[in-house]
Structure formats: C-alpha cells, structure tokens
Amino acid sequence: MRIEKADRLKRLPPYLFKEIDRQKEQVRAKGIDIIDLGVGDPDLPTPPHIIEALKRAGSDPANHRYPSYSGMGEFNAAVAKWYKQRFDVDPDASTEVVTLIGSKEGIAHIPLAFINPGDIALVASPGYPVYHIGTQFAGGTPYFMDLLKENRFLPDLEAISPEVAQKAKMMFINYPNNPTAAVATKDFFESVVAFAREHDVIVCHDAAYSEMAFDGYRPMSFLEVEGAKSVGIEFHSLSKTYNMTGWRIGFAVGCADVISALGQVKSNIDSGAFQAVQIAGITALEGDQACVEDMRQTYAERRDILVAGLRSVGLSVDKPCATFYLWVEVPEGYTSAGFASLLLTEAGIVTTPGNGFGAAGEGYVRMALTVDRERIREAVERMSRLGP
C-alpha cells in the first residue's frame, strides 16, 4: 500500500520547534550539556493554588463527561470579569467569549471559519508560524507583512497594495510580539481598526504575552480601542501568565459574529476543554495575582543578566519591556541559521534562528529567558569563549 501525504502537508516546511528538538538531540547525543534558550516554554511551575483546584475538580465525577464546546459558563464569565478588571473592556460572556484548548488551537482553526481558496490573510513576518500555517490549511494565501527594526517591528499597513487589501479576509497581529518582543501603541491599534473597516478585514490579535511585561509597563488590549470589537477578536492563553503551557487552556474575546463562527468550527472538530482544567482556570483568573507579579520579577532579573551579558560579548540587542524573548542581531558575516548552529554545536546553547519565523527574521536569533540566572550566566560565559 502506498501512503502519500496530502499536498497541504507537502507544502509545509518542517515545524520550527520540532526541527530544533531534532537538532538538540543530535548534540545531546554527543554528550554536550545543553542550555536551552530556544522554545518559549516557561520553566517556572504552575502556582500551587491552581494545581490544588485541578486536583479537587479532577476528583469530581461531574467533570469527567463531555464539556460544552464553547466553554463552561462559569469560565467564560471569569474571562469577562478578568477583561473588565484588567482592560476595562466588558465583553458579554455568553456571546463574546469562547474557551479554547490553548490559544494555538483557536488561532489554527479560525481561518477555517472565514478563508476560502484564493482569499488572503495578512500575516506578520517574522511571526508565530501557526498564523500562516492555519491560513494554508484553509486553502488561503498568506501575505507577509515585514516587521522591520526601522518601523519598531510594526507592520506598515500603508505598504499593502489595494489589490492585496481587496482580497484580504483576515489579519493576524501579535503584541507584545513573538519573536521580536516589540510592543504596540494605541495609535497603531487605531490604524489597524481603520484599515479593517475600510477593507472588511477580520483582525485576530494574539495577546498571549500581555501579562508578561516589566518596569511598570502594562500592555493594552486591542479591544480597548474604539470600534475594535466590531472588526475582530483577541486570543489569550493562560500558558504564559500562569505557567500552564501543558494544561491547554485559553480563550478568545471580541466580535460576537467572529466568536460564533469560531465556535461553529470547534463544535465540529473538538469536544471542548477538560472541565477540571477550566475550573482551575477560573481559580487562576480570579485568585491571588501575586504569582503573576513573581513571574514578572523573575523574568525581569533574567532579562537584565542576559542583555548585559550579550552586550558584553559584542552582540546587539534591545532591552525588551515585555515577553520573555530577546531578539538578538547576529554578528556580521553570519546568517541566522549559521549563528544558531554555531551556538548549538560549539557552545551547547539552543537559540531559534530568526528566519524560522519568516524571511524578514533573517539577521536575528531569538533567545528565551526560560532557564535560571546561573544557567544564563553560564551561557554568556560560553559565548564569550566563542568570541563572535
């Protein structure tokens, strides 16, 4: 029997982080001690009060049955309450909130609700690969908006041709940004809303890093801008805020018609998030937020150590005010992949080549602050011996 993959899979490059895992194992097999600054997976544990809530909920047989595909009413209400407290945005929990099995799931599925073959989705480059992969799976065509240093890593909406804008059905944006750690202003979000209204484009804002900010900076929600809720939705995740990456719980908030269409896709594809995890998510959103401040403090300390260390060995990097990523310019004479390979094979340091996030990421590597301070210092010491 001949087994042949569908064309949609053949067209995909190797998934970025899966390929990094393969390379890590090759180096580790040689006995090299790995310091992993690659995938953005928090090394901090989930706060104990959230774990205890899961234990209690997991012991209740009522939570062992199929959940609602759109989410427990109580969880969606907790999301709406959190939005009101955090952003002064007041979504209707019954029509403007949907529970997700992690925000990645919702981002990957929403093109299925709106993209027809030949439609365009506007996608940032560099950017989270799922934006363009989800578009391609739906039969659409990604149009890459380059995020450039001279434009503060914000897309230039005026550079999008009228022909592209006419065919565009969706736009994916993400601030605070992965991988560049850039942040967006209210003026930028207002320009996005104006563009969306003019061209009938649905905006999908990935706000997974909104709570991972430092030095008193508090990222705003896209939905705070007047008219935003009429043109799009915002994706959130408990993964980074509460160190719950493996729990797979997130949500989307915004335009009721867009939320309804995403829910319609989900009802035909999945059976909802495990109800015990949703109950733990309620505890996370409504409980003591001191754990979030502790998280911020930890990553701020790591950031300061790594930024100073990178600069000390001659690398150029801005000090980010949000996310747990550093977007590091590679030394002259290196490509992104070449420098990442050097760090891995010669120093045992895993980083992510910027071009893996899109062509406009060439010339950078991304480093994640997901090891403790001593390991960061060790990584800097190893880099200093390389003399890049």
- Which tens digit of pLDDT belongs to each residue from 228-249? 999 999 999 999 999 999 999 9
Write down the architecture of domain 48-286 according to CATH.
Answer: 3-Layer(aba) Sandwich (3.40)
- Amino acid at residue number 20: I
**Which one-letter DSSP state was computed for residue 322?**
B
- Beta-bridged to residue 142, according to DSSP, are 121
For the segment(s) 7-45+291-386, the CATH number from 3.90.1150.10, 3.40.50.300, 3.90.340.10, 3.30.70.20 is 3.90.1150.10
Those residues whose C-beta lies under 8 Å from the C-beta of residue 37, and which sit 6 or more positions away, are 349, 350, 351, 367, 368, 369, 370, 371, 379
**What pLDDT sits at residue 21?**
76
Higher pLDDT, 30 or 357: 357
Q: Do 113 and 262 meet the contact criterion of CB atoms below 8 Å apart?
A: yes
Q: Do 240 and 42 meet the contact criterion of CB atoms below 8 Å apart?
A: yes
Residue 299 in tokens:
């990553």
Residue 265 in tokens:
């896709």
Q: Do 138 and 272 meet the contact criterion of CB atoms below 8 Å apart?
A: no
Instruction: Compute the distance between CA of residue 282 and CA of residue 238 in angstroms, rounded to an integer.
Output: 10
Is the predicted pLDDT of residue 227 greater than 80, yes or no? Answer: yes
Instruction: Count CB neighbours of 60 within 10 A.
Output: 11
Q: Cis peptide before 45, with omega less than 30 degrees from 0?
A: no
**pLDDT tens profile 147-184:** 999 999 999 999 999 999 999 999 999 999 999 999 99
Residue 337 in tokens:
């992949």
Quick one: pLDDT band at residue 3, thresholds 50, 70, 90?
A: very high
Those residues whose C-beta lies under 8 Å from the C-beta of residue 108, and which sit 6 or more positions away, are 130, 133, 134, 137
- What mean pLDDT is predicted for residues 52-63? 97
**What pLDDT sits at residue 29?**
85
**pLDDT tens profile 272-281:** 999 999 999 9
Q: How many CA atoms lie within 13 A of 29 on its CB side?
A: 6
Q: Do 176 and 219 meet the contact criterion of CB atoms below 8 Å apart?
A: yes
* Residue that the structure tokens 């990604």 belong to: 142
Quick one: pLDDT band at residue 259, thresholds 50, 70, 90?
A: very high
Is the predicted pLDDT of residue 311 greater than 60, yes or no? Answer: yes
> Whats the size of the chain, residue-wise?
388
Residue 188 vs residues 105, 125, 156, 289: alpha-carbon distances, Å: 26, 17, 10, 29
Quick one: pLDDT band at residue 307, thresholds 50, 70, 90?
A: very high
- What mean pLDDT is predicted for residues 253-268? 97
Ordered by start, the domain boundaries in the chain are 7-45+291-386, 48-286
**What pLDDT sits at residue 16?**
64
- Amino acid at residue number 226: E
- What mean pLDDT is predicted for residues 175-195? 98
Q: Do 146 and 182 meet the contact criterion of CB atoms below 8 Å apart?
A: no
What does the mean pLDDT of the chain come to? 95
